Amino acid sequence: MHLSGKSRAAADCSLLYAILDKTTMNKNMKRRLVEYMSRHEDYEQRTQKLLEPILEKNNYELYDVEFVKEAGNWYLRVYIDKEGGISIDDCELVSRALSDLLDEHDFISESYMLEVSSPGLGRRLRKDKHFEKSIGEEVEIKLYKPINKKKEFVGLLRSFDKDTIAIELSDKTVMEIPREQIANVRLTFDF
């Protein structure tokens, strides 16, 4: 089974586990998918541990780490942030230090490219800490399947819990969307 960057294993493990329970995949396919997800989650967690002293020393915040396959290539992506924003020099500093540590520890079996960047203005919200910081901000939510014939919604993030995300739409109604139906949540931005 190939997982693209859009449906990558680490993005929504709970959703993929739920799918496993409801699909007709044979047991061997399910076992392989769970192993795949676990291995890549391990890569992300171990990378986070390597990053901690680098980030602490330079007063950076770790926004996210993801290990994804896109167009046949593996990418280890690290998103960093700090008060006032991240510069190219900040990304270079973290990239060089992390690259040395990754070479030293050598725990990723696949060939991959390391990318270090800012999460950007239209940053993706994946973790609870991302949602907490974004309460009251305008977000765009893309769904796997339509609700009321729509797969995209924009509104102010009002609340969230482990099962739902609530946004206030432009007509001031609050819409609760089940997390299992959400493919992607990003902050919106205007130029």
Q: What pLDDT sits at residue 100? A: 96
Confidence (pLDDT) at 147: 92
Look at residue 58 and give its three-state secondary structure.
Answer: coil
Architecture of the domain spanning 128-187: Roll (2.30)
List the pLDDT tens digit at each of the 191 positions of the chain. Answer: 333 333 333 344 444 554 555 455 667 666 665 666 678 888 999 999 999 999 999 999 999 999 999 999 999 999 999 989 999 999 999 999 999 999 999 999 999 999 999 998 888 998 899 999 999 999 999 999 999 999 999 999 999 999 999 999 999 999 999 999 999 999 998 76
pLDDT the model gives residue 31: 65
Instruction: Provide CATH 2.30.30.100 ranges for the chain.
Output: 128-187
The C-alpha atoms of residue 1 and residue 13 are separated, in whole angstroms, by: 15
Domain with CATH 3.30.300.70 in the chain: 5-117
Fold of 5-117: GMP Synthetase; Chain A, domain 3 (3.30.300)
User: Does the global pTM surpass 0.95?
Assistant: no
DSSP string, 126-188: -SHHHHHHTTTSEEEEEEEEEETTEEEEEEEEEEE-SSEEEEE-TTS-EEEEEGGGEEEEEE-
